[in-house]
Each structure stands twice: as C-alpha cells, then as structure tokens.
Structure 1
Amino acid sequence: MRMKRALTAVLLAGAALLAPAGTAVADDTPSEAGTAFRTAVAIEQGQKATANGSTGDYLYWQFPAGAGQRPTVKATVTLPDTATRTGAATWRLDVYDGLRRRQACTAGEQAATASRQAATVALTCTLRTVRPWSERWSNDPLPGAYYVRLTVTDAPDRDLGLPVKAEVQATSEDMGGAHAEGGSLGKPLHATALAEPNGGWNGSWWSGRWGWTIGGAVLCALAAIGGYTLTRHPRRR
C-alpha cells in the first residue's frame, strides 16, 4: 500500500507540473476603439472588443504580450447594408510593437477584399514568438504593448463614411519562457497602461527543457519503484 501511495503521488506531481496554465479573461467587453496609437483602447488577451465606426476610420487597440508567447489577433468587420454600398472594399489588419514597429504576420489573412454583397470580412495575423531580449538593430517582437490597427485600404469614395462594426480579439500560445533563451528586458516596451500578461512580461519559468527534465524524473521514479517492488517481493515459482 505504501508503494502504491508513493506511485500515485509521483504521477499526480508530474501531471500538475506538466499541465499548462490557463489564461484569465476579463468579464468586461470594451465597446470602443482609439483613433491613433496614443488613444488605443487597452484590452486583455482573450478579451473580445467591439467598436462602431465608419468606413475609412482608423481603429486602434492595444494588448500585452510577454516573452515566450506567440500572439494571434483576429478581427471581424460587419459591413454596411449592401443597398448603401457601391462596390468592393479591402480591409487590413496591422500589428505594431511598443516601439510602433510593424510586426510581420507569419500566418493568417492580414488583408481581405469583401465584395459588395458580403456581410462581413474576417482578418487574422499571427506574430512571431515574443523574445525576452534582442539586439538593438533587430526588429524582433519584444515584451510589452502591441498595437492593433484596423482600417479599410481600398473602397469607393462614395462608400467612405458608411457605418461599420468591428470585433477584435488577441490570444497567444505559450511557446516557452525567458529561461529558454537566458535573458530579459529591464522593463516592457511602453506598457504602462496595460495589465501584466499571464506568466509575466519576461515569461513563465516553464520551457520545453523543463518538460523533458520533469518527464525524465517521473520515469526514473517509476523505474525505481518498480525495481524496489520486484526486489522486495520476488516472484515465486
């Protein structure tokens, strides 16, 4: 019985350490957007934000991202009634870091053209993994604020000013903390108006190397318990 209890404790401890941490989501839903970087509305990861605007407006939000996270931003625009539109419109989603440097999208449809008959248009941008630090000349994404800009880039002049409704959400996948690279920034980039992300600005202690280490420790413990059991209670023939 003691050996069974020890085995159970080892398995539970390993499962607890290997389980990923959840992302907290705020209950309140922001219902407006800024019109420039300086007035960008702050949102949390996992939080949906909505805003009413006009075709041709620049809509801005900002969200926090820490080291080891790979952010994905999704936007959906509900277009004006088809009876009021005269042609197709192209919408674009851009993401900038705390230094207002445009970050490249590694996946997703960053720009899309909606036909005159379309009711909505959806956009997605997945960034590179946020690094805990980088060289000054590098354009790597770093911990801090990330700005989302949504706007129409091509539309008939007669359609400019027509009402639209936008919905934006930023999420992230944990790709490993600062310990995976062994460095960190002294402070996040222009993130004074944002809450610290889950796991901290410099990433959580978790990384892939910890997973292998813990997994190996669990296997060693199981092997030791199995060997002890066979030695303590040898089979009778």
Structure 2
Amino acid sequence: MLLKSFKQLFKKPKIKSSAWDASGSGRRVMCWQPERSGINSLLAHSIETLRSRSRDMVRKNPYAANIIDTIVANCVGTGIKPQSKAKDPEFRKKVQELWLKWTDEADSCGASDFYGLQSLVCRSMIEGGECFVRLRNRKPEDGFSVPLQLQVLESEHLDNKSNQTLANGNIIRSGIEFNRLGQKEAYYLFREHPGEGSFGESVRVPASDVLHIYKPLRPGQIRGEPWLSNVLLKL
C-alpha cells in the first residue's frame, strides 16, 4: 500500500484531450455529428418541414397551443395604443379620432381591426418563425379615412426556391433580394398561399412595402425559425 502511494507521486498526470468536455471525443459524444453549415443554409433546407410540423403540432397538441396563446398574450397584451402629444388640443382630438377610425379599417381582408392584427402577426411569427405585413396604399376614391391598409401574409408566401444573381449584381437568396451592400431590396411573394392550390409565380415587391417580422438568433440570419423547433419532439 505504501509502495503504491509512493509510485503515485512520480506518475505522469493524464493529459486531457480537450479543455472542454463537449469538444472531446469520448463515449458520450462519439455519435454527436453537429451541423457546420451557416444558419441561412440550414434554414433553406429545413424551414418548410419545421414550419409544417410546428403548425401541425399547434393544431393537434393542446400544450403547444397553450404555449403559443400564452406568449402572444404576454407579448401583445392590449396592443399598441398611441397617444398624440401635440400641444393643440383640437388637433390632438382630430388625430385621435382619425387613429380610431383607421384601426377599424387597417385589415385589408376586413376580418379584424388593428389590435387583432397585432395578435395575428405575433402568433404567425411564433408558429411559423416569421410573418410578413404588406403595406397596401389605397386611392382617395377607395373611401378610407387613411389611404393605407395592412395585409398579413404567412411565411409560406415567400418564394423560398427563388435563388439567383441578377444582371444588376443584386442577389436573391431564399426569396429575398439584396443589393451589393447587403441591404434588402425586395421580396418575392406569391399572390396566393401555396397551400391553397394554384398560386402561380411569385411577384417582386419592394422591401419598403414589406415588414418582415422575425426573431434573428444568429448574425446574418435572413429567415425566421419557428419558436417550437427545438421542443417539437418533446411535446
């Protein structure tokens, strides 16, 4: 026993293969094959499957549906309710009246008001990973209090298969056109939801007319990831 202890004093310490357990090559990680691709490449190949499974889970699983409901309620609450800070009380009153009229006319589909659209946009972003709001300018003869309406579009409306380099040097990646500075120039959107049957070719819509709402998780990410992606197999 004493001899064994004495030998331990001169025994060379074991050199670890890595300073981090997770970067080692032991039994626990031998089957771990992480993806090395960039986030946009990963989403381009997986977004359609992730999105459809996320929507399917929310439809069929009450726990998933409750998760979405809770997040939407906490994020949106009663919605955005601006108040004019103009000093002129008469002007302030007119602005408020005009705002209230517009909230009832905001939805281009006429199915909801501005406050309902806020919840719808939030829900669509969480469930599908992203949501698009197209600004639809109206003519004075259309009879709206404010010549502007909002059209909410699900993620499927973006032409994910559109990828090319244009003659002017702009690049289209996953349905989004970028200029040489990397700024968004346009979105290629289907007029109809692809899941509703015949939807034809996508059309180019200037980026200034589109609000792309999603939560970027990594630098340079151009598409949104469904919020339930990493728990779908555990629900």
Scaled to the shorter chain, the TM-score interval is under 0.3
Structure with larger RCO (C-alpha < 8 A, sep 6+): 1
TM-score w.r.t. structure 1 length? 0.21
**Higher strand proportion, which one?**
1
TM-score (norm 2): 0.21
Find the structure with the greater CA-based Rg.
Answer: 2
Give the structure with the higher percent helix.
2
